[in-house]
Structures are given as C-alpha cells and as structure tokens.
Chains A and B, each alone.
Chain A
Amino acid sequence: MDLTFRDARLIDPETATERRGDLHVRAGRIVSDPPDGAEVIDCAGKCLAPGIVDLGVKVSEPGERHKESFRSAGRAAARGGVTTIVTRPDTDPAIDTPEVLEFVARRAQADAGVNVVPMAALTKGRAGAEMVEIGLLMDAGAAAFTDCDRVVADTRVLSRALTYARGLGALVVGHVQEPGLSRGAAATSGKFASLYGLPSVSPMAERMGLDRDISLLEMTGARYHADQITSARALPPLERAKANGLDITAGVGIHHLTLNEMDVSGYRTFFKLKPPLRSEEDRLAVVEAVATGLIDVISSMHTPQDEESKRLPFEEAASGAVGLETLLPAALRLVHAGHMDLATLWRALSLNPAKRLGLDAGTLVPGAPADLVLFDPHAPFLLDRFTLASKSKNTPFDGARMEGRVKGTWVGGRRVYPA
C-alpha cells in the first residue's frame, strides 16, 4: 500500500524537530520520494507522528480473557495511536517458557492487528527463586525479562539472573519498590493517606529498590530498565548511575505524570495503582525528568481489571488502570501545560522505547516502517469509560476533559484505525 500524507505537521523525535510537509510510504515503509499512484491523505495541518511503542502492557491472555484479549487490546491500541504493544508476562500462568511465549505470539499474530512484542518472566512462575530459560525465550522472541510488580526479593537470585542475562545481552526490566517496606501498602504515606486511614508506604521505598538494583548493575554490567520511576527522591541516584555509564534506562506510567495522591479521595479504586499515586511535588519532579530525558520512556502501564476486582473497599481492590486508548490525550496534557514540546514527548512515547528494545520503529526517518498516528492535538472531548474498546473499563479518566484525538493509525502502512 503506497501512501502520501499531504500537508501534515510532522513530529520527528529522532531529529527532535517538527515541520510542515508531506510524508511518503511505499510498501509499508517510509520513503523520501513520492511513490507513483499513491493514495493521498490530506492531513490539513494535523500532527503526524510515529506510532506509540507502549512498553509494559498487560493483555490478560492467557488466563483472564474476560478482562482483556489480544483482539480487544489491539483495538484499544489502534484507537489510541499505539502501533506496538510490548506485553507483560504477569498473566496466569506467567509467560515463563518458550511454549507459553509461542502461544501468546500466535494469539497476538491472529488477533491484535498492531505489532505485539512479548516480554517474558525473569524467574519461573515469577516466584523469585529460579531464572527462566533466558536464551531459549530470546530465540522464541522475548524482547525483555521482568517479574513485573513482583520484586525479586532474594538479591542473590537477581544478581545471578542479571549476570546470566548480560552474557546474552538480554534486557532486564525491574520494579524498584523495596518489598518489605511496601508490603500491604495501598497509598503513599503522608497527610492524605493518614487522614483516610489507608495503609501506606514512603516513596523512599522506590529509592531503596533502585539503589539496590543500581548496585547490582555495577556488579554485573547487565542491561537494565526500571519500569516506573515515580518519585523525586529516586531521580538523583538514577542520574548518577547514568553518568557513571551503567546501561540503565527508566520509564514512568502516564497516570503518575498526570494524577496525584489527592485524586484517590472518596476511596476511588480506579485510582489505585502500583506504585501508588504520589504527591504533587513528586509528580512535577518526574514530569521535569521526562522533559530533560533523565526518564526515557512513558508507558500506559495498561492493566485491565474487571468491575468485581475494583468494586471493593480500597485496601482489598485490585491495582492498576487501563491506558492504551487514553495514553495519547493524557500525555498531551504535558504539552498543553507547557512542560515539553511534541518532539520531546514523542521521544519518550516512541523513539526511546523502540531503541531500548532494539525494535525497528519509533521514527519518521526514511526506511522505517510506516507505523504512524495522525492526531488533532487540540480536539476536546469528555471521556466516557464505556466507549473504550478494552474489555475492562477501569480508567481513572472517566468523565475527564481531554484534549487530543486520534484521527488515524497505520501499522506498516496499513490503516488499522478507523477500521
């Protein structure tokens, strides 16, 4: 399929620029010269950017297809301008063998409609005791290894896994919350959690978790990505580790960039996340870290939960929020608030995650696959959670005013939204 996007505002994170112009696609890839007989899409000055590469999406297959399937997640991704979903292995059972990984890849291929890149567990059953078959899983297509929010508490197990992973060049994704301090916590400690009587954890648990993992990286030299850095206190050690030349990157979930602990008021369980929402000072510090590039990646941390898991007292309710479809308009809040420009935002949404995972994606440079999103950054709307394509509707943005709508999404030059 050959295409010419005419008169677009082109957002290129690779060159950190935007310009008004045309973009050409031949045989599914971006090219410099207009192909003959291409279908012309008039963009009328709207933004055209690389499709989002969302690192850390939970699709609830296998195990909980009633919460999210590859078909529903793929539709949500397409509607949200996400062209590559990097899936988490915290399914039931965990994705910890090549056989399960191949099953997932097959299901994704058949149903998703967007690119799906699976991650695998780091330890068997995510139990934190024995490492998985890292080599065989890489051969089967695992892009990275993570036990997700189950921290490998036994430091010796983690150090061996990191050492072994280094030998294969495998990327390990860590969840940096010190598990002892975090046990049972449902909120971030402080005036707010104390008044509402919620068990809470200091954000210092995040720095402790990060400090430990950084020490292990110094020891082992492994490739490492911290899934979510959400607090100001964790930023200086991250900065030092990068300055010291360790192979470390860091991400943050969109909800920690756009919401804070006060949003939980009224015990609204759709705002219960892991790690919990932080103070406004933490939020602003982390937004700033994304703008400077200290934090590399923004993801949705898409976590589908059904109504039954959320309609419970706050402490008992499940954690997590869906985000595939709302990631783009929520992230645009950072641009509208003047924290960063679109090219900087897209560095964190598409270029950096693609680079970190070694994916051929995330840029508008000729030769790259035509994974694209066309959007109007100023189109306002009121979010109704029941209009989401995800099977689970647990978004904290229900009823929120948002600005920015996806007009079209293409994967390898093929339009996936509107279908």
Chain B
Amino acid sequence: MTFRQRHLLGIEPLSPSEITCVLDLAESYVDLNRAVEKHGDALAGLTQVNMFFEASTRTQASFEIAGQRLGADVMNMAMQASSIKKGETLIDTALTLNAMHPDLLVVRHPHSGAVDLLAQKVTASVLNAGDGRHEHPTQALLDALTIRRAKGRLHRLTVAICGDIAHSRVARSNIWLLGKMESRIRLVGPPTLIPAGAADWGVEVCHDMAAGLADADVVMMLRLQRERMDGGFIPSEREYYHRYGLDAEKLGHAKDDAIVMHPGPMNRGVEIDGTIADDINRSVIQEQVEMGVAVRMAAMDLLARNLRAARAA
C-alpha cells in the first residue's frame, strides 16, 4: 500500500487505499501521542511553515503540535496581518516564501482553489488546511479515523451530515471520503443551506432531521457560521435550533449506538445541545481533536517520505 501524492490538496484525488494508508499510519501516532515521551524524528531537519490566510486556532495548533512531535522546525505566519494587506498577491507571497526553502507548507485560505493555485508555484509539499468552501482534507481524515475506531469500519455505514452544507468544506471532503469508502451519505439541512446540484453527488438529501437521522450510524453536525444567520439563509437562531439543532429527541431517530461528531468550534444551543455534546457515551468530539494531531502527523510523514524520495532520485 503506497501513498503517491506530492501534495495533500483534497480528498478527491486520493484512492481508497491511500486513505487507508494514512489512517493506518495515524493509528501508530495515536499510541505515540498517548505515551509520556512523544517525540518521533520523521520530520527531523525539515521546515514546516503554517500559512493561515484565515483565522484559526484549533487547526493551526493541531498542525503545529503534529510537526513538532515529529521533529520539524515549525514556523507560523499569520497572513491576515502580513503583506497580503499591503497588496501583495498570493503568488508573490508563495514565491517569496519558496525562496526560503520550506519543505512542508500548511495553507488555509478563504477562497476555493487558492491552495491548488499556490501549490503550482512552490517546490514544497502543500497541505490544504481548508480552502473556501472547497476541501479540508485533514478534517475528513481525522473524522474517518474517529469513525473507524468507534465503528470498526468505514464501509456500509449510514452517515448523516447535518447543517450548513452549502458553505462547508468539511462536508465536501467528508462526502468525497465516505463515498470512496462506500458508506451511505445523507445531507440534512434547510434547502437554503444545501448546495444546488447536491442530489447529483450520489447522496440523499433530507430537509427534516427525523427522516435524515433515521437509522444513522454516525451523526455529523456542522458549525453554523454566525454570519450566515443574518444573511437571510435562515430566519433566526431559535428557529434553526428548533428544526435542526441536535437534541436527545432528534438523536433518538438514529441507531442506539450512533456516534455524534462536530468539527468544532461548537455553537451550543444553535446546532447542538450542550448535554449531547458532553455525553461521553455518544459524543466523540474530544476524540476527533485527538485524532486530528495523529492524522496530521501521518499525512506530513507520508508527504515527507515522498519528498525525500523525489529529492534523492
């Protein structure tokens, strides 16, 4: 089983065996992360630069810890505050940075496709940490690892992805991944938050939580961006919570052993009830965060192996 990618720009280009390859390696890093001594050397001597053109605390911290645990030299660049504000284009920034010879570039950008564009211009391996509404591959991989550990498999599961699908890169990456692994996907949300043409993706679309969650093995809630609430996508927070917020009653439609997931940060009382989020028998939200570090270590390790092999050749 081999992982052949030069970059990790999305789930779309990955094969099922490449996905499994990342997850299997990540399992070993889960064990490492739980040990007292947490250091590996897979990235020793390599420079990892985190470029976040959009604010992030959790994802950036996760990538930073992952890089440091594997011995990389990690630098964070807060791009909102930097030269972008002075009118420098994305390409100029990429070329400037490229001249400093980073090996791994972790990039988040508010526009779809921006990370692909940047990857065309640099010699480093690029990891997409989220581009616009397009993809967030490490999130889908950490979700997959979490599901696999809880359910023992990724195929033939019924997964309900609920909420703001239209603006969510997490949803798109998960749809790619779960589709490739042959699970059944339902998208649940009000019609204004389901993208046009979603029914052609090979998924079921539901506008009602009871039908959408029926017999689900996994209930994946998405964050509702506050800025969408006054944009006319939904009438109000309380109506949204009433119809789509995950509470015990709605969760009752899913299987008894269904797990509840959320990519964070949560809006308690908007898309998810606080007691469900904290219920250790149902919620795997904290485990998702833990898996995030392991999956990112695995992804960077695999890309670094390919990078070293390419340079040796």
Closest Cβ of chain A: how far from B34's Cβ, in Å?
Answer: 35
Asked if A195 and B201 make an inter-chain contact with CB atoms under 8 angstroms apart, the answer reads yes
Question: Given the complex, which residues of A lie within 8 Å of B113, measured CB to CB?
Answer: 196-198, 267, 313-315
**Interface mask (B93-130 → A, CB under 8 Å = 1, otherwise 0):** 00000000000000001011110110000000000000
**Interface mask (A320-347 → B, CB under 8 Å = 1, otherwise 0):** 0000000000000000000000000000
A166 to B200 alpha-carbon distance, docked (Å): 47
A192 to B201 alpha-carbon distance, docked (Å): 10
- Say whether, besides A195-B172, A197-B134, A308-B89, A267 and B112 are in contact (CB < 8 Å): yes
Does B296 lie at the interface of the complex (its beta carbon under 8 Å from any beta carbon of A)? no
Asked if B117 and A194 make an inter-chain contact with CB atoms under 8 angstroms apart, the answer reads no
A191 to B116 alpha-carbon distance, docked (Å): 20
Does B223 lie at the interface of the complex (its beta carbon under 8 Å from any beta carbon of A)? no
Query: Would you list which residues of chain B between 130 and 183 have a CB under 8 Å from chain A?
Result: 131-135, 166, 169, 172
Closest Cβ of chain B: how far from A78's Cβ, in Å?
Answer: 33
Asked if B111 and A313 make an inter-chain contact with CB atoms under 8 angstroms apart, the answer reads yes
Does B91 lie at the interface of the complex (its beta carbon under 8 Å from any beta carbon of A)? yes
- Say whether, besides A189-B196, A190-B197, A197 and B112 are in contact (CB < 8 Å): yes
Asked if A313 and B195 make an inter-chain contact with CB atoms under 8 angstroms apart, the answer reads no
Asked if A313 and B197 make an inter-chain contact with CB atoms under 8 angstroms apart, the answer reads no
Does B276 lie at the interface of the complex (its beta carbon under 8 Å from any beta carbon of A)? no
Asked if A202 and B109 make an inter-chain contact with CB atoms under 8 angstroms apart, the answer reads no
- B200 is contacted by which of A191, A311, A315 (Cβ under 8 Å)? A191
Closest Cβ of chain A: how far from B92's Cβ, in Å?
Answer: 9
Closest Cβ of chain A: how far from B135's Cβ, in Å?
Answer: 8
A267 to B133 alpha-carbon distance, docked (Å): 13
Does B280 lie at the interface of the complex (its beta carbon under 8 Å from any beta carbon of A)? no
**Interface mask (B65-91 → A, CB under 8 Å = 1, otherwise 0):** 000000000000000000000000111
Asked if A313 and B114 make an inter-chain contact with CB atoms under 8 angstroms apart, the answer reads yes
Which partner residue on chain A sits nearest B111 by CB separation? A313
Give the most central of B111, B113, B169: most A CB within 10 Å: B113
Query: Would you list which residues of chain A between 190 and 228 have a CB under 8 Å from chain B?
Result: 190-198, 200, 202
Give the most central of A192, A197, A308, A314: most B CB within 10 Å: A197
Asked if A316 and B197 make an inter-chain contact with CB atoms under 8 angstroms apart, the answer reads no
Question: Given the complex, which residues of B lie within 8 Å of A316, measured CB to CB?
Answer: 111
Does B198 lie at the interface of the complex (its beta carbon under 8 Å from any beta carbon of A)? yes
Closest Cβ of chain B: how far from A186's Cβ, in Å?
Answer: 9
Question: Given the complex, which residues of A lie within 8 Å of B196, measured CB to CB?
Answer: 189-191, 193-194, 200, 202
Which partner residue on chain B sits nearest A308 by CB separation? B89
Q: What are 24 A-B pairs at a CB distance below 8 A?
A: A189-B197, A190-B200, A191-B197, A191-B200, A193-B196, A193-B197, A194-B166, A194-B201, A195-B197, A195-B201, A196-B113, A196-B134, A197-B113, A197-B135, A197-B172, A266-B116, A312-B89, A312-B91, A313-B109, A313-B112, A313-B114, A313-B132, A315-B113, A315-B132
For the complex with contacts A193-B195, A266-B116, A267-B113, 5 further pairs of A-B residues with Cβ separation under 8 Å are A189-B195, A190-B197, A193-B196, A193-B197, A198-B113
Give me the interface of B with A, judged by CB distance under 8 Å: 89-91, 109, 111-114, 116-117, 131-135, 166, 169, 172, 195-198, 200-201
Give me the interface of A with B, judged by CB distance under 8 Å: 189-198, 200, 202, 266-267, 308, 311-316
A-B residue pairs, 3 tightest by C-beta: A197-B133, A267-B113, A191-B197
